[in-house]
Structure 1
């Protein structure tokens, strides 16, 4: 597979010198720099001033070592930038973190790094010196959020200062050395207009989605990994009125809500003694005592599903959450399974009635083979028929082909169903164009 990533400037030097030779030289420069500077001042000194000082000292050291590895001006600048990234940032990963087009950084081993750009994975030329170098960067990340990682705790979830989510696995769990994945989030959160521009949905859905939130319907956003569930949840949250109190609950803080009256909570893992763990369920239960207008759960994945449904059924309308599932029907089955696995002794018939009365809308998001995300189904839960939760699909996207460039082609279409939520829209004073529910409405993309 051809590498078309152009973010690394190290390649020309590696063509000139052996990789081990280059990394050994850079390591010596780094160690010499650490002997000179006072690391304790990094937190207190202005970053720009510190950057200039490190660059100046590194250049001085390189001149002293000119006989060891002769470098031209561009090569010297490359090493200086990499040393600055080592001291102040996350080393070889820093250029990726500065690139807004990259959404995922996947470190499979110290010498193999992939990135995702525009929904597609591509390899890079960037690498760490060795496992020890990679572990230093990992330790820097987890220590910043008060976590630790070692043989007794070989897996950890953390986050960077910009909100990016980090997952790390080290030996003995990881067989080929430390592994790390970084899920990045846009510095400027996407808006509904951006989703329309990206053909995730069509403009005709704008008023409907806005109405679903303003009419305080409970919405479940379903989709697979990397399908854009959290992004869509952020977009939907924009329509929550400013005068409402929002409580968010997450495993790792990812949501980027813009409202002022916002209370954010995050789970906490157990400490070294196995104590102090705070689960999402604990936070959901506690949130009910915080006078919330809306409860937003980043992702429901366990016993908290039951408490979330209880909240939806007891006056906390307008709640939103996401769930991992490949279809709206699968999402309902997963909800039922989560509650059953939490040892709640509830007959399946009563549990399904409980779900059908709590959830009003399921929005299904999917990532297509070309890397683009699409809203592929919007379904309304209409009640129960026997022992089965009944739904009706209001809107869907149907793929028809893949063109010569590999782009997914298809059409967005309403199904000719007049949804029950239109009555709630009328009561709430929300107006939408009823004609757009006609099945003749189609948008080819």
Structure 2
């Protein structure tokens, strides 16, 4: 008598693969913040289909355990859904099960959102990164990723994060800000708006400097919007955030190494490659390593009008930071040569800052003139005046011209922009007053 063979029991390794596949498939099937009922029913359906196709069998207890684990991981989306949907929230920070912070109006706030434990946070992280083809584990405890809507995700887990997994989501603004919005918000004045538009159109090389969360990328995006149509633009970023409206644009993004430590694509590699793509302008989201040298060389070799950002607290600090980054490129260059590269490549440094009241403002617009001896000479054209409360007077931002006309004013005129002397702070009444005759 022949006994029918019973379906095989999957091994522990097979169950682990099944769990990962279910999480990935679930993320593709459902939208962020789907209700718990949809999550559970979809998981059951996917599991039944998988078992039927694989001819494996699972006990009722094992099935329920697997479904509970998978749904619990994905249900983390439901906990943060109100935060994801709130347009006024710009950042979500999960520091611990009972410590979920947000940034709203430039201020940090503790929310009432909680997670059962660190495993639930870990499940949320995996649910986010698995569909994006990224991984995070004890051997590679940090990960950067970009959600389909453009939001930027960073996660760090033990052993690097001592107290448990940490998740940070920087939300992508649904409505793209324009120069007029910066004027309305008091980040810049109408005069600075006209000046910056002219500088971008005249193909000046611009560096945006600022601290973390100061709005550098937002400003870079707005500046890029002033680039005329008909130019070939290559953007290079760690996580693509720039959203340019021009039709002739190419977006490049870095890639982390795979599980074997191979296949990494760095900013520096992309900058070098972009030079072979016949770009009119190169925009690098941020320079933080040896790619600073490649970017400066690109600016010095016919790619005028390029833009990038750097972490620094002042224009002078930005120059020093670039010096340090160039020295990290692996080339043994004398400091004077490095400074000459910077002085000849850059035309303008825009300093962005987040103030104590949570607002983000341009605090300095500085021209890079050249070298004087061993020093790079800077000329501040617009300066944030801190007189009075928060540097304001009758509710208007106090970002004032210093009275100095930039050396590159002739470039602006050649591009068709003749800016009035008053924009730079010239007193026309004094200039037009009749001069006294000498006796």
Q: Same fold (TM over 0.5)?
A: yes
**Maintained 8 Å contact 2:187/2:397:** no
Work out which of the two has the higher radius of gyration on C-alpha atoms and give 1 or 2.
2
Q: Does 1:383 align with 2:408?
A: no
Q: Does 1:332 align with 2:319?
A: yes
Q: Which of 125, 128, 153 is the aligned partner of 1:166? A: 153
Determine the structure 2 residue equivalent to 1:17. Answer: none
Distance 1:145 1:425, change over 3 A: same
Long gaps (5+) in structure 2: 1-18, 43-69, 429-439
Q: Which of 268, 290, 295 is the aligned partner of 2:282? A: 295
User: How many residue pairs get matched?
Assistant: 380
SS state of the match for residue 144, structure 1? helix
How far apart in 2 are the matches of 1:243 and 1:410?
35
How far apart in 1 are the matches of 2:422 and 2:23?
69
Determine the structure 1 residue equivalent to 2:248. Answer: 261
Q: Which of 166, 174, 177 is the aligned partner of 1:190? A: 177
**Maintained 8 Å contact 1:400/1:410:** no
**Maintained 8 Å contact 2:288/2:310:** yes
Long gaps (5+) in structure 1: 1-33, 58-82
Q: Which of 224, 246, 265 is the aligned partner of 1:278? A: 265
How far apart in 1 are the matches of 2:169 and 2:31?
27
**Deviation at residue 298 of structure 1 after TM alignment:** 0.1
SS state of the match for residue 385, structure 2? strand
Determine the structure 1 residue equivalent to 2:166. Answer: 179
**Deviation at residue 91 of structure 1 after TM alignment:** 2.8
Q: Which of 188, 195, 204 is the aligned partner of 2:191? A: 204
**Deviation at residue 204 of structure 1 after TM alignment:** 1.1
Q: Does 1:123 align with 2:110?
A: yes
**Deviation at residue 53 of structure 1 after TM alignment:** 6.0
Q: Note the alpha carbon deviations across 1:137-178, whole angstroms, 9 max, x for none.
A: 100111122111111111111121111111111111112111
Distance 1:127 1:42, change over 3 A: closer
Q: Note the alpha carbon deviations across 1:390-414, whole angstroms, 9 max, x for none.
A: 01110111112437xxx99862211
Distance 1:85 1:423, change over 3 A: farther
- Kindly report structure 1 stretches of 4+ aligned residues shifted beyond 3 Å: 37-57, 83-89, 407-410
Determine the structure 1 residue equivalent to 2:230. Answer: 243
How far apart in 1 are the matches of 2:168 and 2:271?
28
Q: Note the alpha carbon deviations across 1:245-275, whole angstroms, 9 max, x for none.
A: 1100011111111111110011111111111
Determine the structure 2 residue equivalent to 1:357. Answer: 344
How far apart in 1 are the matches of 2:104 and 2:304?
37
**Maintained 8 Å contact 1:227/1:373:** yes
Determine the structure 2 residue equivalent to 1:422. Answer: 409
Distance 1:51 1:434, change over 3 A: farther
How far apart in 1 are the matches of 2:106 and 2:273?
37
**Maintained 8 Å contact 1:233/1:321:** yes
How far apart in 2 are the matches of 1:365 and 1:357?
23
**Maintained 8 Å contact 1:91/1:137:** no
Determine the structure 2 residue equivalent to 1:398. Answer: 385
Q: Note the alpha carbon deviations across 1:77-105, whole angstroms, 9 max, x for none.
A: xxxxxx99975882311111101100111
How far apart in 1 are the matches of 2:120 and 2:171?
22
**Maintained 8 Å contact 1:166/1:182:** yes
Distance 1:345 1:197, change over 3 A: same
**Deviation at residue 49 of structure 1 after TM alignment:** 11
Determine the structure 1 residue equivalent to 2:309. Answer: 322
How far apart in 2 are the matches of 1:150 and 1:218?
41
Q: Note the alpha carbon deviations across 1:58-116, whole angstroms, 9 max, x for none.
A: xxxxxxxxxxxxxxxxxxxxxxxxx9997588231111110110011111112210001
Distance 1:432 1:52, change over 3 A: farther
Distance 1:55 1:180, change over 3 A: closer
SS state of the match for residue 317, structure 1? coil
How far apart in 1 are the matches of 2:84 and 2:250?
28
**Maintained 8 Å contact 1:85/1:92:** no
Determine the structure 1 residue equivalent to 2:144. Answer: 157
Determine the structure 1 residue equivalent to 2:214. Answer: 227
Worse overlay, 199-208 or 430-439: 430-439
Distance 1:43 1:381, change over 3 A: closer
RMSD: 3.0
